[in-house]
Amino acid sequence: MRPDENRPVLGVISCNRDVENQAAQVVMTRYLNSALTYANAAALLAPAMPGLIHAREVAPRLDGLLLTGTPSNLDPKRYGDLADDAPGPFDPDRDEMTARLIEAMLDLGKPVFGICRGFQELNVAFGGTLRRDMAEHPELIAHHAPSDKSFAEYFEHVHPVTLKEGVLKSAYGKSELDVVSVHYQGVDKLGAGLRVEAVAPDGVVEAVSAEVNGAPVLAVQWHPEWKAHENPESQMFFKLLGRALRRRPLVPR
């Protein structure tokens, strides 16, 4: 690939993980492959190291931010739940870094997109809360494959979502999608100012949008990055990201 100085630069949040017994900053490559290909963007990884990096020195250098999924859960204390029995694993430095980056980016009028944990982080950033029982209640559909399944089988777990009036329904030109669902946490109280873009058959919120200082916010609970090369509907999420990075309307008027 030849360098293109005109492509926007997407910030992608990293996670704290252990790699061969050493602390590492990690982003799963599938998020980068999908985002860079279908948003047609360059990227910089944003380490989840809030003690060493200030969000407000990073945000001006980015055209937009992508908050990815990851195995860790948000610490419930981030949304006012002081229970001691919350299941981990946790990544408190990512919790802190994403909260600061979301604020810094939106203050500058720059877009923020989220996937899975990123969707949950945005809901909390807007004052919402999460529930941690998505796999336990019989009134809910299965939002995660059984825990005894393989990693690949997790990402074969699909359910439909209904699209509400908004960005996604306009972009897709349809009212329903089948989506890859791999999550134990989900929206409880919706964050103030967020608009529901999609719901699962049990009513659980699956996608949200907003506009802050002219910047679009769009986040989905599902995993459009998984095998996006095989799924034009998944590619559309990242094409919307590409439009946002270029400050174009998400849905052409």
For residues 13 and 66, the answer to whether their CB atoms sit within 8 Å is yes
Find, among 63, 68, 71, the residue nearest to 34 by Cα.
68
> How many Å apart are CA 59 and CA 65, to the nearest integer?
9
pLDDT in tens, 211-248: 999 999 999 999 999 999 999 999 999 999 999 999 99
pLDDT in tens, 27-72: 999 999 999 999 999 999 999 999 999 999 999 999 999 999 998 9
Active site members: 116, 223, 225
- Retrieve residue 230's tokens: 């095989």
Superfamily the domain 9-245 falls into: Class I glutamine amidotransferase (GATase) domain (3.40.50.880)
> How many Å apart are CA 155 and CA 43, to the nearest integer?
25
Question: Backbone dihedral region of 214: left (phi > 0), alpha (psi from -120 to 50 degrees) or beta?
Answer: left
pTM score over 0.85: yes
